[in-house]
Structure 1
Amino acid sequence: MKDFIVLLLFCHVASPGKHSLKYFFTTSSGVKNFPDYVAVGLVDEVPAGYYDSISKTVEGKQDWTQKMFEDDPQHMEWYTQRCLLHQYDDKAQIDILKQQLNQTEGVHIFQRMSSCEWDDETGEVNGFVQYGYDGEDFLAFDLKTLTWIAPKQQAVITKHKWDRDRALSERSTYFITQQCPQFMKRYLDLGKSSLLRTELPSVSLLQKTPSSPVSCHATGFYPTRAMMFWRKDGEELYEDVEHEEILPNHDGSFQMSVDLNLSSVTPEDWRRYECVFYLSGAKNDIVTKLDKAVIRTNWGKTGILTLLCFFC
């Protein structure tokens, strides 16, 4: 239930080469047996800190964050005060929206996400601050114009009010361009033994039947800042290709697949295709040539026992 409410609106996947620091703040009204305010911080999609309105205590979710708070209690106190302030402001915002929209009963959820990304290959830094109400986008800060974008008519009144709040715009700009990147780089350094580790996967070519797409499957990699694609004659393919989402393994590593439809490809052209796996931080890509001899299948005599579990 916690994860559902906290991540109800915002679902983002880190891009290869980029590191991220994200803060999710979720305030609810009418939800029974659950804190009416929850805050979660993630570094490179890894939960690093947690706070809720019941415990009123910032908790480190990783060994390195817990040690950081122990060594720097002022930093933990800063987070505690920020959570208390957001809790008060967001609770008031829910009450305002309920009045504006004539909502007297039911469950209502107000969310904010503040985030920044740093590309360790180019040095580029980006970020955003955005809000959601009852599972839909509500307002997003435009760093170029220093104004708020309202995707829904119900947010226009709040947009005009926030546009006039110069201090709010200045705080949002400072967070995106200064504070968040500084914090992120500090956390990456403190947690580098786990956050910056890289583990390459084993890559296999799989096929269910002779007429099925060939799946390039990578498993056992870490972190999630990875991508995989098919290419032909050195050029990435976009047609006849289907990408599957990155999934976790039981040991903390990840797996992913990308399928290639070969229905219109002649056997003579197979040698022109290859699967490429890229992992941020790794020295080299893993390139797997499309070769019928190495495809593992669950048809014929070869590979039945090996892939029995995969295709069950």
Structure 2
Amino acid sequence: MITLLLLIFVGIHRAVAVTHSLKYFYTSSSGIHNFPEYLSVGYVDDVQISHCDSITKTSVAKQEWMKKVTDEYPEYWEEETETCLEKQQAFKENIKITKDRFNQTKGFHVFQRMYGCEWNDETGKVKGLEQFGYNGEDFLAFDLTTESWIAVKHQAFVTKQKWDHSKHIAEYEKSYLTTECVKWLQMYLRYQEKSLMKTVLPSVSLLQKSSSSAVSCHATGFYPDRAELLWRRDGEEIHEGVEKGQILPNNDGTFQMSVDLQPPSGEDMQRYECVFQLSGVKEDVITILEKAKIRTNEGSSSQMLIIIGVLAAVIAVILSVSAFILYKKKNAKRPPSPVDNKEIQEQMLQPENPSA
């Protein structure tokens, strides 16, 4: 339902605008063994910043720099924990009501919510996001353009009617998604920037599964994500036989990416070089294609360890993004959920005949 936007930046030695994002994902589940009934996670630029679930019952920072929030808001994490416990009960009711609307009593089910914003640091353009899902499919979404709700499933039409008829809800949604959310995103970005060096160069490796498979140039540990990775032959960038991967976040706030090259046949391998370029750094990181530098499954287990690390990072993102959302405004000390006051919450939770 929700797709992460992972950006690849080109022409890196000139100023590049970046779209930053703040998103919260909440989920309530039933009938799933060994999985929390309630889970909430937050992300800044696809890097997880917070976590809370019905088992730990505590909201915690997932990045060291997020702990600095308490410098300005001492009660931040205590309030986040309180919100987590409150929303655990609210979402338990939400999934029950949704199951009733679908006339479902048995099996495992998941009720989802995602909200947040995207902000372009050059143009100032803002995009608000607010979606609900049920069992992996779209259920209900807010359209900022029309300031109305879209019922993707007919079982969501009751809620759509209620929320569309309340001008207060639309105004609250728009205000939060386009203004309040962006303010908190910008604050988190300041914390993040202070915690990391202005620029961090990567570790670059050449990887190959077998002698006949593509050679992968893998760069990891760089910051920021305004980077480019490419192959050159005789000093000229090549595109034929080259497959670029996406920029992916590491758990420590840095990034990784790969670019594959079909192995050259009948010519000197050293004519090829992998080039990493980072915004703000004049010197490129150049790795010449030499057989001795290539790590393979056959000659070393280190390649497999790196590949496992990459897969683990990707899986972590996918699993976390299949979680879902909600947040609450309290005394203006942290980002509120767009639909969070008691009046609106009761409209969602109040059992209704779907045909009403």
Same fold (TM over 0.5): yes
Q: Highest relative contact order (Cα 8 Å, sep 6+), 1 or 2? A: 2
Mark the CA change 1:276 to 1:169 in structure 2 (over 3 Å): closer, same or farther: farther
Matches within 5 A, 1:1-16: 10=2, 12-15=4-7
Mark the CA change 1:304 to 1:171 in structure 2 (over 3 Å): closer, same or farther: closer
1:28–1:36 contact (8 Å) kept in structure 2: yes
Report the CA distance between 1:214 and its aligned residue. Answer: 4.7
Q: Matched residue of 1:105: which SS?
A: coil
Code of the residue aligned with 1:159 in structure 2: it is K
1:296 matched residue in structure 2: 290
Report the CA distance between 1:156 and its aligned residue. Answer: 4.3
1:60–1:69 contact (8 Å) kept in structure 2: no
Give the share of equivalent positions with the same residue, in percent: 48
Report the CA distance between 1:195 and its aligned residue. Answer: 5.3
1:14–1:20 contact (8 Å) kept in structure 2: no
Answering whether residue 179 of structure 2 is matched by residue 187 of structure 1, we say: no
Q: Deviations over 1:63-97 (max 9, x none)?
A: 44334336524544654565455444433321221
Code of the residue aligned with 1:99 in structure 2: it is D
Query: Partners in 2 of 1:236 and 1:55 — Cα distance?
Result: 50
Q: Deviations over 1:229-262 (max 9, x none)?
A: 568998895x754333556779875432222447
2:280 matched residue in structure 1: 282
Query: Partners in 2 of 1:147 and 1:245 — Cα distance?
Result: 34
Report the CA distance between 1:227 and its aligned residue. Answer: 4.7
Code of the residue aligned with 1:12 in structure 2: it is L
Query: Partners in 1 of 2:289 and 2:56 — Cα distance?
Result: 53
Q: Deviations over 1:2-51 (max 9, x none)?
A: xxxxxxx6452543533322211111223445542222222233332333
1:141 matched residue in structure 2: 142
2:333 matched residue in structure 1: none
Q: Deviations over 1:190-237 (max 9, x none)?
A: 343335653122446666778654533323323556453568998895
Structure 2, unmatched stretches of 5+, are: 10-17, 305-356
Matches within 5 A, 1:154-233: 154-194=155-195, 197-203=198-204, 212-224=213-225, 226-229=227-230
Query: Partners in 1 of 2:110 and 2:157 — Cα distance?
Result: 18
Matches within 5 A, 1:1-312: 10=2, 12-15=4-7, 17-32=18-33, 34-53=35-54, 56-69=57-70, 72-76=73-77, 79-80=80-81, 82-83=83-84, 86-194=87-195, 197-203=198-204, 212-224=213-225, 226-229=227-230, 237=239, 240-245=241-246, 254-261=255-262, 277-279=276-278, 282-284=280-282, 286=284, 294-297=288-291, 302-303=292-293, 308-309=299-300
TM-score, with structure 1 as normaliser: 0.71
Report the CA distance between 1:305 and its aligned residue. Answer: 7.5
Structure 1, unmatched stretches of 5+, are: 1-8
TM-score, with structure 2 as normaliser: 0.63
Code of the residue aligned with 1:93 in structure 2: it is N
Query: Partners in 2 of 1:71 and 1:23 — Cα distance?
Result: 21
Pairs aligned (count): 291
Report the CA distance between 1:127 and its aligned residue. Answer: 2.9
Query: Partners in 2 of 1:267 and 1:208 — Cα distance?
Result: 21
Query: Partners in 1 of 2:198 and 2:93 — Cα distance?
Result: 42
Most deviating of 225-234 and 141-150: 225-234
Mark the CA change 1:145 to 1:305 in structure 2 (over 3 Å): closer, same or farther: closer
Mark the CA change 1:218 to 1:157 in structure 2 (over 3 Å): closer, same or farther: same
